[in-house]
């Protein structure tokens, strides 16, 4: 009798463990959205940053330390995106499970071949550069699709009983993204937009995927606010090359872009979300990609 | 008649007030070199506005800013044979528990020592340049350092630095402690003190 | 001794800058911070030195030592009477990987008390130490050697408890190794954190006790409060304040010296990296009595408006105008006015910033 009771208890507890969510903390809302797509009901995901926040400049708040201290898995972007705040946060969290190299650490940037990797002599005179590559790769739906398998693998390591669920979710999500990407590329091609301005270099991966080229940034150097001289230079470029669209990440002011638009006939300035939950209606990654595609494809035709 | 009475009364009362300590404050304290002092019990110092003679002790009424503060003291006077004067800093209001800088005349030299509790260190070697009869010194006592950092200059110097000091406890002799109070004063035995003053430290640590 | 320190420092510098170290794969990071400061009299009462120059150079090396421990080495050079004096500020080994929610430091470090004492001076939001800080902790802060443990209590709200015990041989500015105290110096700091809308606030409470070999007992009690509103890289609003009380007692005596002081520093972020704040300082010795036993009202107060320009997180220009008043019963007030200037810059890596 006692043995049967014990077995029932053990089974109950095992079932509970199998049903226990993996507590995941991510550094960005885009990473959180990816984890949710793959982890489904098996994960409880929290993003340290809101969609409306610039992830380069985040305060290492004690409340974040608390969240990380309870995490089973910490997912970060890497490529030095979080270099200014994550080490301090990890130190304060005191959770050895999620430190770099630990089982509960997943750095997404380690699994892609980044764009804009800088070779040669670099220094701070070049602005806030990311020498190991541009970290905004989750704005490329196909790289996101590839990373979904990486995420599935990591979740499977932490929760082997649901490994198949994670893998299936990854396959389905990746497949869906591929189908949609083909549609989006066609939409942008039909719009005729080939060259635009951007504020920062956040959209590099998205634009590369959609075969659109950013020929100028409002920031003269990454992280450096625009100067009047630089704005005048961009006006000249816009007129010469027929640029008619500037996309500004919605955590930046549009003032400088609007100044250019005043002098360039037909120039449109669009404030765009670059993170999930960075604007109303952007709840999933697909929503985010759709919004970016619409911002490009529904603008006036340019070169 | 009334005027005469008034004038006589003024003279009488002022004569009554006259003694060897003719600069007594109404509170029982005395004024010396523009500083108010309180004489210790059993003191028989003769205190005038610009000269102190006799034997006894007195404590400055105005306290130091804090116990762990730095201050500069100037002391000038004449040490005849067998006389001594002790500058006490960072002590309690009975001049106990402080740092005591003892200067005494020994034949043709000034003997100097620093006492704290039952510990004494000699600084006589550093006072040899002084005129044996005249005492003219400026002392910085930095009781905010551990142990107290003391510098002594001849009062004729114009620049107060570690280089111009005739004594620097950091290079010479370690002061045996830190004063435990916020008062200062002197104990004298037949020395003639002409000047006694306090100010902000002359030397500031960088 | 100074030449030896110079030699050690120079050797480390050259070692670090050779190609072998430049391609280091051990994670070693080097951070150099230079703090240039100057003060100029604005009236005859000011005791300003009327000069400007490098106040300190901090060189910090930090890296994982192995899979468990991290190491920090912080050297600092200060100008003392025209000579650059190198000294060890911090040298400690630590870990946050051994016991969940717990981290420790073992070695020499700035004590984890209050608010300002956690940071190197070049990271402060103002140029010189508040009156209460200068009196109780010196111009830079208190460091000592010992063990400090911090524990993040697993509660639904943030509560961090730090306790530490250090040698206590010296406290404040000392020129020798000091003497063994009656008991090691010990301290604790408890801090909370809460977000109210966009405002993040962190209050803390400190206790520190020291019993020196000379029988002096010092007890320090502190309350610190920091509040911030940050948008992107702009610190829109900062509130920083500390309130301290110090009690000095001596063996064999019933008398105590109690001093109380505080500073408050509200600061607003303006535009394009400009920040403006005004610091208010106050310090008094509560128990000051004259030799006749009468209480003596006294205070040191200062008003310090401060303007900072921060083009990036790696450089800073700052100017302030310090108006100080010293008041003592029965004496004329002593007012002094001083212009202060500061420029700081950071070369190399920089440890990521805590809240």
**Tens digits of residue pLDDT in C69-118:** 999 999 999 876 677 788 899 999 999 999 999 999 999 999 999 999 99
Q: Give the distance between the most distant pair of CA atoms in chain C.
A: 70
Residues of C in contact with A225 (CB under 8 A): 272
The answer to whether residue C195 is domain-embedded is yes
Q: Say which residues have a Cβ less than 8 Å from residue A210's Cβ, sequence separation at least 6.
A: A184, A185, A188, A293, A296
pLDDT score of A125: 80
User: So what's the pLDDT on residue C133?
Assistant: 96
* DSSP-assigned letter for residue C123: G
Report the neighbours of B using a cutoff of 3 or more CB pairs below 8 angstroms.
Answer: C
Q: From the CB of residue C245, how many other CB atoms can be counted at a distance below 10 Å? A: 17
Question: Using the beta-carbon criterion (under 8 Å), do C172 and B145 form an inter-chain contact?
Answer: yes
**Residue A90: its chain C contacts at CB < 8 A?**
96
- Distance, in Å, from the CA atom of C23 to the CA atom of C29, rounded to the nearest integer, reads 11
Among chain B residues, the shortest Cα distance to C248 is held by B67
B38 → closest Cβ in C253, C255, C292: C292
Inside any domain, residue C355: no
Taking CA–CA distances from C259, the nearest residue in chain B reads B66
Decide: helix, strand or coil at residue A30: helix
CA distance C321 to chain A (A): 30
Closest approach of C345 to chain A, Cα-based (Å): 12
Of A87, A97, A68, the residue nearest C354 (C-alpha): A87
Per-residue pLDDT 10s for chain A (303 aa) are: 766 655 554 444 444 444 579 999 999 999 999 999 999 999 999 999 999 888 888 889 999 999 999 999 999 999 999 998 999 999 999 999 999 999 999 999 999 999 998 887 778 887 878 888 999 999 999 999 999 999 999 999 999 999 999 999 999 999 999 999 999 999 999 999 999 999 999 999 999 999 999 999 999 988 888 999 999 999 999 999 999 999 999 988 899 999 999 999 999 999 999 999 999 999 999 999 999 999 999 875 544
The residue in chain B having the minimum alpha-carbon distance to the alpha carbon of residue C252 is B97
* C 73-132 near A (Cβ less than 8 A): 96-98, 100-103
The total number of residues shown for chain A amounts to 303
Task: Report the pLDDT value the prediction gives residue C83, as an integer from 0 to 100.
Answer: 76
CB contact under 8 A, A87 and C354: no
Q: Please list every residue in chain B whose beta carbon sits closer than 8 Å to the beta carbon of residue C81.
A: 161-162, 206
Candidates C185, C283, C291, C324: best to mutate against B (most CBs of B within 10 A) is: C291
Check CB contact under 8 Å for C214 and B180: yes
pLDDT in tens, C299-340: 999 999 999 999 888 999 999 999 999 998 878 888 999 999
* A9 and A157 housed in the same domain: yes
If pLDDT is split at 50, 70 and 90, which confidence band does B26 have? low
C6: domain range? 2-348
Q: Structurally, how many domains does chain A consist of?
A: 2
For the record, the structure tokens of C207 come out as 């206790």
Q: How confident is the model at residue C265 (pLDDT cuts 50, 70, 90)?
A: very high
Q: Cα separation of C355 and C345, whole Å?
A: 20
The interface predicted TM-score (ipTM) is 0.87
Q: What is the pLDDT at residue C10?
A: 55
CB C219 within 8 A of CB C246: yes
- Please name the helix (run of DSSP H) or strand (run of DSSP E) that holds residue C128, with its range, or none: none
The confidence score (pLDDT) of residue A301 equals: 52
Give the burial string for B139-164 (b: 16+ CB within 10 Å, else e): bbbbbbbbbbbbbbbeeeeeebeeee
Domain C-terminal end among A175, A195, A218: A175
The two tokens of residue C284 are: 């008094």
Yes or no, beta carbons of A62 and C193 under 8 Å apart: yes
d(CA A114, CA A143): 10
Please list, in sequence order, all residues whose beta carbon lies within 8 angstroms of the beta carbon of residue C104, skipping any fewer than 6 positions away: C94, C95, C147, C148, C149, C150
Neighbours of chain C (3+ CB pairs under 8 A): A, B
| Nearest Cα to Cα of residue A290 among A147, A168, A152, A176 | A176
Specify burial of residue B124 (Cβ count, 10 A radius: 0-12, 13-18, 19+).
Answer: middle
Chain B partners within 8 Å of C47 (Cβ): 200, 204
Mean pLDDT of chain B: 84
Q: Is C78 touching B (CB cutoff 8 A)?
A: yes
Domain hosting A156: range is: 2-175
Which CATH superfamily includes the segment(s) B20-199?
A: Exo-inulinase; domain 1 (2.60.120.560)
Could B68 and C248 be called an inter-chain contact, meaning their C-beta atoms sit closer than 8 Å?
Answer: yes
pLDDT at C21: 41
**Cβ(B121)–Cβ(B112) under 8 Å?**
no
- Which residues in B17-53 are b (16+ Cβ under 10 Å) and which e? eeeebeeeeeeebbbbbebbbbbbeeeebebeeeebb
Cα torsion A108, A113, A117, A120 to 10°: value is: 120
> Does the CB of C154 have a partner CB in chain A at under 8 Å?
yes
At B143, list the tokens.
Answer: 């009781």
Residues of C in contact with B28 (CB under 8 A): 292
Q: Is C25 at the interface with chain A, CB within 8 A?
A: no
Tokens of C333: 């007030």
Task: Tell me whether the omega of the peptide bond preceding residue B147 falls within 30 degrees of 0, making it cis.
Answer: yes
A63 touches chain C (CB under 8 A): yes
Verify whether the Cβ–Cβ distance C214 to B29 is below 8 Å.
no
Q: Does A92 touch chain C (CB under 8 A)?
A: yes
Helix residue ranges, H only, chain A: 2-19, 29-39, 62-69, 86-93, 141-158, 163-191, 204-209, 228-241, 255-263, 285-297
Minimal Cβ distance to C100: which of A57, A88, A95 = A95
pLDDT reported for residue B16 = 43
DSSP string, B8-62: HHHHHHHHHT-SSSTTB-TTS-EEETTEEEEEPTT-EEEE-SS-EEEEEEEEESS
Decide which of C47 and A44 is more confident. Answer: A44
Q: CB–CB of C152 and A85 under 8 A? A: no
Picking from A124, A142, A175, the residue at the C-terminal end of a domain is A175
Pair (A55, A150) in one structural domain: yes
Chains in contact with chain A (at least 3 beta-carbon pairs closer than 8 A): C
Query: In the predicted model, is pLDDT for residue C139 greater than 70?
Result: yes
What φ, ψ does residue B6 adopt, rounded to 5°?
A: -65, -45
Residue among C306, C258, C257 at smallest CA distance from C281: C306
Of the candidates A62, A96, A223, which has its C-beta nearest C158's C-beta?
Answer: A62
Q: Are residues C248 and B67, on separate chains, in Cβ contact within 8 Å?
A: yes
Cβ pair B92:C255 closer than 8 A: yes
Last-in-domain residue among A155, A175, A195: A175
- The distance of A62 to chain C (nearest Cα, Å) reads 6
Same domain, A152 and A233: no
pLDDT digits (tens, 9 = 90+) for C189-214: 999 999 999 999 999 999 999 998 87
Structure letter (DSSP) for residue A191: H
pLDDT for C246 equals 97
Which chain C residue's Cα is nearest to A227? C272
Indicate the pLDDT class of residue B134, thresholds 50, 70 and 90.
Answer: confident
Please indicate whether chains A and C are in contact, defined as at least 3 beta carbon pairs under 8 Å. Answer: yes
Pairwise pLDDT comparison (A227 vs B22), residue with the higher score: A227
Find the residue in C nearest to A127 (Cα).
C312
Q: What residue has token string 């400088």?
A: A256
Going from the C-alpha of A15 to that of each of A5, A44, A155, C191, C210, the distances in angstroms are 15, 18, 18, 39, 55
Instruction: Considering only the beta carbons, identify the residue of C174, C216, C259 that sits closest to B66.
Output: C259
Token pair listed for A197? 């301005």
Whether C18 has a pLDDT exceeding 60, the answer reads no
Question: How many Å lie between the alpha carbon of C160 and the closest alpha carbon of chain B?
Answer: 33
- List Cβ neighbours of C281 (8 Å cut-off, separation of 6 or more): C130, C131, C132, C261, C262, C263, C300, C301, C302, C303, C304, C324
What pLDDT is stored for residue C175 in this prediction? 61
- How much is the pTM? 0.88
Mark whether A269 and A147 lie in a shared domain.
no
Backbone conformation region of residue C5, classed left if phi is above 0, alpha if psi is from -120 to 50, else beta = alpha
Mutate to test the interface with C, among A23, A49, A61 (most CBs of C within 10 A): A61
- Of the candidates C98, C152, C272, which has its C-beta nearest A69's C-beta? C152
Residues A65 and A200 in one domain: no
Considering only CB atoms, C175 lies closest to which of B28, B149, B182, namely B149
B127 DSSP assignment: G
- Within-domain flag for A150: yes
Length of chain C equals 355
pLDDT tier for residue C22 given thresholds of 50, 70 and 90: very low
CA atoms of B111 and B119, how far apart (whole Å): 16
What pLDDT was estimated at residue A216?
92
Residue C353 domain-assigned (yes or no): no
**A29 plus A130 within the same structural domain:** yes
Of A25-34, B18-27, C323-332, C344-353, which has the strongest mean pLDDT? A25-34
With beta carbons under 8 A apart, name residues in chain B contacting C296: 62-63
- The pLDDT > 90 percentage for chain C reads 72
Tokens representing residue C285 in the block: 């010795």
Give the SS3 label for residue C175. Answer: coil
> What are the residues facing C104 on neighbouring strands?
C95, C149
Helices A163-191 and A285-297, interaxial angle, to 10°? 10
Contacts of C202 in chain A (CB under 8 A): 62
pLDDT score for C125 = 97
Residue C66 lies inside a defined structural domain of this protein: yes
The arrangement of strands across the sheet holding A245-249 comes to: A213-217, A195-198, A245-249, A268-272
pLDDT of C24 reads: 62
Nearest by Cα to C8 from C65, C88, C80, C108:
C88
- C 291-320 residues with CB below 8 A of B? 291-293, 296, 298
Q: What are phi and psi of A124, to 5 degrees?
A: -70, -10
Domain CATH code at residue A89: 3.40.50.1980
Measured CA to CA, the distance from residue B177 to residue B68 in angstroms comes to 12
Chain A residues in contact with C150 by the CB 8 A cut-off are: 94
CA C179 to chain B, closest CA, distance in angstroms equals 9
Q: What residues of chain A lie within 8 A of the CB of C354, using their CB? A: 60, 88, 92
d(CA B54, CA B46): 6
Q: What are the DSSP calls for C83-108, one per residue?
A: EEEEEEEEEEEEESSSSTTEEEEEEE
Total count of domains within chain C: 1
Specify if A185 maps to a domain. yes
Q: Which CATH number fits the domain that encloses residue C54?
A: 2.40.160.10
Question: Please, which pLDDT band fits residue C341 given cuts at 50, 70 and 90?
Answer: very high
Average pLDDT, chain C: 89
CB A71 within 8 A of CB A24: yes
Predicted pLDDT at B147: 82
Interface contact B206-C173, CB threshold 8 A: no
Least trusted range by pLDDT, from A6-15, C36-45, C46-55: A6-15
pLDDT for residue B94: 93
> Is the Cβ–Cβ distance between C162 and C148 less than 8 Å?
yes
Q: 3-class SS at C134?
A: helix
Longest dimension (CA), chain B: 73
Which has the closest alpha carbon to C314: A125, A219, A135? A125
Closest CA relative to residue B203, chosen from B159, B148, B157: B159
- Is C184 a residue whose pLDDT tops 90? yes
What pLDDT is attached to residue A8?
A: 53
Flag whether pLDDT at C172 surpasses 90: no
CB contact under 8 A, C202 and A62: yes
- pLDDT, tens digit, for every residue of B108-131? 788 899 999 888 999 988 887 667
The per-residue pLDDT for B105 is 86
| Chain A residues within an 8 Å CB radius of C123 | none
Q: Which residues of chain C lie closer than 8 angstroms to A63, CB-CB?
A: 158, 193-195, 200
């Amino acid at each position: 009798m006692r043995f049967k009771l014990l077995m029932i208890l053990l089974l109950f507890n095992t079932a509970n463990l199998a049903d226990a969510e993996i507590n995941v903390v991510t550094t960005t809302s885009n990473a959180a959205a990816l984890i949710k797509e793959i982890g489904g009901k098996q994960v409880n995901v929290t993003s340290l940053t809101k969609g409306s926040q610039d992830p380069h400049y985040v305060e290492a708040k004690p409340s974040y330390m608390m969240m990380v201290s309870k995490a089973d898995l910490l997912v970060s972007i890497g490529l030095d995106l979080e270099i200014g705040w994550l080490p301090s946060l990890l130190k304060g969290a005191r959770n050895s499970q999620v430190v770099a190299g630990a089982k509960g650490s997943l750095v997404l940037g380690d699994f892609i071949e980044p764009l804009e990797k800088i070779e040669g002599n670099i220094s701070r005179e070049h602005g806030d550069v990311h020498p190991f590559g541009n970290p905004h790769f989750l704005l490329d739906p196909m790289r996101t699709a590839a990373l979904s398998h990486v995420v599935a693998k990591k979740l499977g390591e932490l929760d082997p009983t649901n490994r198949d669920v994670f893998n299936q979710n990854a396959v389905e999500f990746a497949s869906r993204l591929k189908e949609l990407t083909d549609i989006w590329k066609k939409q942008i091609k039909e719009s005729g937009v080939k060259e635009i301005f951007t504020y920062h270099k956040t959209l590099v991966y998205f634009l590369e995927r959609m075969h659109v080229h950013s020929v100028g940034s409002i920031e003269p150097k990454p992280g450096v606010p625009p100067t009047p001289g630089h704005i005048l230079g961009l006006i000249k470029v816009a007129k010469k090359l027929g640029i008619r669209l500037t996309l500004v990440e919605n955590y930046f002011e549009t003032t400088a872009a609007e100044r250019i638009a005043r002098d360039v006939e037909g120039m449109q300035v669009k404030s765009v979300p670059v993170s999930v939950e960075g604007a109303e209606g952007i709840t999933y990654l697909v929503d985010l990609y759709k919004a970016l595609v619409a911002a490009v494809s529904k603008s006036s035709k340019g070169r | 008649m009334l005027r005469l009475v008034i004038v006589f009364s003024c003279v009488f009362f002022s004569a009554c007030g006259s003694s060897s300590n003719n600069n007594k404050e109404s509170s029982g304290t005395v004024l010396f070199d523009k500083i108010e002092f309180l004489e210790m019990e059993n003191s028989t110092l003769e205190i005038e506005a610009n000269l102190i003679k006799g034997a006894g002790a007195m404590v400055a009424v105005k306290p130091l800013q804090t116990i762990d503060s730095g201050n500069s003291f100037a002391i000038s006077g004449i040490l005849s044979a067998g006389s001594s004067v002790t500058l006490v800093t960072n002590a309690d209001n009975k001049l106990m528990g402080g740092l005591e800088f003892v200067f005494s005349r020994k034949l043709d030299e000034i003997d100097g020592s620093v006492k704290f509790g039952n510990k004494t260190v000699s600084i006589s070697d550093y006072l040899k340049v002084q005129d044996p009869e005249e005492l003219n010194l400026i002392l910085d006592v930095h009781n905010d350092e551990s142990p107290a950092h003391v510098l002594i200059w001849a009062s004729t110097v114009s620049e107060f630095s570690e280089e111009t000091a005739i004594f620097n406890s950091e290079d010479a002799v370690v002061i045996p402690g830190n004063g435990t109070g916020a008062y200062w004063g002197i104990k004298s035995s037949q020395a003639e003190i002409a000047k006694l003053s306090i100010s902000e430290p002359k030397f500031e640590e960088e | 001794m100074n030449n030896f320190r110079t030699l050690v420092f120079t050797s480390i510098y050259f070692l670090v800058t050779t190609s072998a170290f430049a391609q280091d794969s051990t994670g070693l990071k080097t951070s150099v911070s230079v703090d240039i400061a100057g003060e100029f009299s604005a009236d005859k009462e000011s005791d300003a030195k009327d000069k400007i120059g490098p106040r300190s150079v901090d060189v910090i090396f930090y890296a994982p030592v192995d899979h468990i421990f991290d190491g920090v080495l912080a050297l600092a050079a200060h100008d003392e009477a025209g000579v650059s004096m190198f000294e060890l500020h911090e040298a400690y080994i630590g870990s946050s990987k051994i016991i969940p929610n717990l981290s420790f430091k073992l070695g020499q470090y700035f004590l984890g008390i209050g608010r300002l004492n956690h940071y190197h001076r070049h990271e402060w939001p103002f140029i010189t130490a508040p009156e209460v800080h200068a009196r109780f902790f010196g111009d830079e802060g208190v460091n000592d050697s010992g063990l400090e443990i911090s524990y993040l209590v697993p509660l639904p709200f943030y509560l961090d408890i730090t306790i530490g015990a250090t040698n206590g041989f010296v406290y404040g500015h000392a020129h020798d190794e000091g003497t063994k105290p009656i008991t090691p110096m010990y301290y604790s700091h408890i801090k909370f954190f809460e977000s109210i809308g966009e405002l993040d606030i962190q209050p803390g409470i400190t206790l520190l006790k020291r019993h020196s070999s000379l029988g002096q007992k010092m007890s320090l009690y502190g309350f610190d409060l920091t509040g911030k509103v940050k948008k992107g890289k702009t610190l829109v609003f900062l509130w920083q304040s500390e309130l301290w009380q110090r009690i000095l007692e001596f063996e064999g005596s019933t008398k105590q010296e109690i001093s109380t002081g505080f500073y408050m520093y509200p600061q607003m972020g303006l535009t394009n990296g400009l920040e403006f704040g005004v610091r208010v300082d106050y310090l008094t010795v509560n128990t000051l009595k004259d030799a006749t036993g009468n209480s003596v009202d006294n205070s040191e107060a200062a008003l310090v408006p401060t303007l900072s320009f921060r083009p990036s997180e790696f450089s800073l220009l700052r100017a302030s105008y310090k108006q100080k008043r010293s008041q003592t019963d029965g004496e004329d007030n002593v007012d002094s006015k001083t212009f202060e200037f500061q420029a700081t810059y950071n070369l190399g890596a920089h440890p990521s910033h805590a809240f």
